[in-house]
């Protein structure tokens, strides 16, 4: 394990030589396609092939010969999609450790370990929010049907001048849905620019739904980043995830009986109470989702560092 950061990046073609020269004992895979490729299980009996997997990357004979330990994380964004079969080649027969943040994987592999998504709390620093009107909302995501921009626009159109909306992402083709002109469209931004917007905003809106081709974790990475800066999360939580963040305690949940516009109007009328919920969510994000905390917990679970070393 390198003590230098950033560590050197090697071509995958050098892996076998590195295993011998560096006396590698453990291999950790982030993406599902690589996890399957390393054990030569790129095609399931039903003919399903994981997108991006490559049979020529199979090193299972070397894994067996050197008694290497394999570890992986299965999560939305890392290769899991809405139609991924969760039995995926019985990964627990090959992988010593399986991490995940979704219930389906944890259920399929009883020995798997829950870990939350990761955010960089040092970069997405916590700053005091503006105390003067308007209440600033932010919708930040890459374009996708599941992000549900139309629902957000419908709700925002019903709000008064007490609110201002910041839109981040490639949503040019959707702006015509907005009748309320109290918004600023920023387009695609660099991380530093997005962070500056989060620092000025009070509420992050995530009204995502599941779709046939992709799925989001909860909270989304963008939502976690914004929460780290102190934003209150308002989310549909389509995964019904309650592993860490609790509805009404750490964020406000959009439901069939409590619409997005109802929640936003409640925030206006109960601003201090709403911001207190945001503080609770921020504290959990910064203490539980920070990348340094999550990585150290993974290394502990893999037996590569002693518990509590960080």
Domains 12-118+290-301 and 135-288 agree in fold: yes
Of residues 119 and 2, which shows the higher confidence score? Answer: 119
**Mean pLDDT of all residues in 258-274:** 97
Instruction: Tell me the per-residue pLDDT of 199-208, one tens digit each, with 9 for 90 and over.
Output: 999 999 999 9
| Confidence at 214, pLDDT banded by 50, 70, 90 | low
Contacts of 59 (CB under 8 A, 6+ apart): 15, 16, 38
**Mean pLDDT of all residues in 242-256:** 96
Region 135-288: CATH code: 3.40.50.2000
In the predicted structure, residue 104 carries a pLDDT above the cut 90: no
CATH 2.60.40 fits 12-118+290-301, yes or no: no
Q: Find out whether 144 and 152 touch, Cβ atoms under 8 Å.
A: no
Instruction: Tell me the per-residue pLDDT of 132-168, one tens digit each, with 9 for 90 and over.
Output: 899 999 999 999 989 999 999 999 999 999 999 999 9
| Confidence at 3, pLDDT banded by 50, 70, 90 | low
**Mean pLDDT of all residues in 78-92:** 78
Of residues 135 and 240, which shows the higher confidence score? Answer: 135
Percent of the chain whose pLDDT exceeds 70: 95
In the predicted structure, residue 75 carries a pLDDT above the cut 60: yes
**Mean pLDDT of all residues in 180-188:** 98
What are the residue boundaries of the structural domains of the chain, listed by start? 12-118+290-301, 135-288
Least confident segment among 79-83, 95-99, 229-233, 292-296 = 79-83
Reduced to 3 states (helix: H, G, I; strand: E, B; else coil), residue 24 is coil
| Confidence at 310, pLDDT banded by 50, 70, 90 | very low
Alpha-carbon span 301 to 307, nearest angstrom: 9
Task: Report residue 74 as tokens.
Answer: 């299965």
Of residues 308 and 291, which shows the higher confidence score? Answer: 291
Residue by residue, what is the 3-state secondary structure of 68-111? CEEEEEECECCCECCCCCCCHHHHHHCEEEEEECCHHHHHHCCC
In the predicted structure, residue 2 carries a pLDDT above the cut 70: no
**Using CA atoms in the order 178, 261, 272, 125, what is the torsion angle rounded to 10 degrees?**
-50
| Confidence at 45, pLDDT banded by 50, 70, 90 | low
Cis geometry, peptide bond prior to residue 6 (ω within 30 degrees of 0): yes
Mean pLDDT of the chain: 92
pLDDT at 81: 75
> What's the gap between Cα 234 and its chain centre?
16
């Amino acid at each position: 394990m390198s003590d230098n950061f950033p560590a050197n990046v090697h071509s995958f073609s050098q892996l076998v030589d590195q295993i011998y020269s560096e006396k590698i004992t453990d291999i950790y895979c982030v993406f599902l396609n690589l996890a399957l490729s390393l054990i030569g299980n790129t095609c399931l009996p039903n003919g399903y092939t994981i997108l991006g997997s490559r049979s020529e990357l199979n090193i299972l004979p070397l894994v067996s010969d050197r008694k290497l330990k394999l570890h992986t994380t299965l999560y939305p964004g890392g290769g899991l999609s809405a139609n991924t079969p969760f039995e995926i080649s019985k990964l627990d027969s090959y992988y010593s450790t399986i991490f995940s943040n979704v219930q389906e994987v944890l259920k399929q592999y009883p020995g798997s370990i829950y870990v939350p998504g990761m955010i960089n709390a040092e970069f997405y620093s916590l700053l005091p929010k503006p105390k003067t009107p308007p209440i600033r909302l932010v919708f930040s995501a890459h374009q996708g049907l599941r992000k549900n921009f139309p629902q957000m626009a419908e709700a925002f159109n019903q709000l008064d001048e007490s609110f201002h909306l910041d839109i981040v992402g490639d949503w040019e083709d959707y702006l015509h849905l907005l009748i309320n002109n109290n918004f600023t469209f920023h387009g695609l931004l660099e991380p530093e620019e997005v962070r500056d917007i989060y620092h000025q905003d009070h509420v992050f809106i995530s009204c995502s739904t599941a779709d046939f081709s992709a799925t989001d974790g909860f909270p989304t990475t963008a939502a976690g980043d914004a929460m780290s800066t102190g934003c209150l999360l308002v989310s549909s939580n389509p995964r019904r995830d309650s592993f860490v963040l609790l509805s009404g305690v750490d964020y406000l949940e959009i439901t069939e009986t409590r619409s997005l516009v109802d929640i936003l109007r409640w925030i206006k009328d109960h601003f201090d109470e709403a911001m207190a919920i945001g503080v609770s969510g921020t504290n959990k994000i910064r203490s539980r989702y920070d990348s340094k905390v999550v990585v150290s917990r993974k290394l502990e679970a893999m037996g590569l560092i002693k518990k509590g070393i960080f």
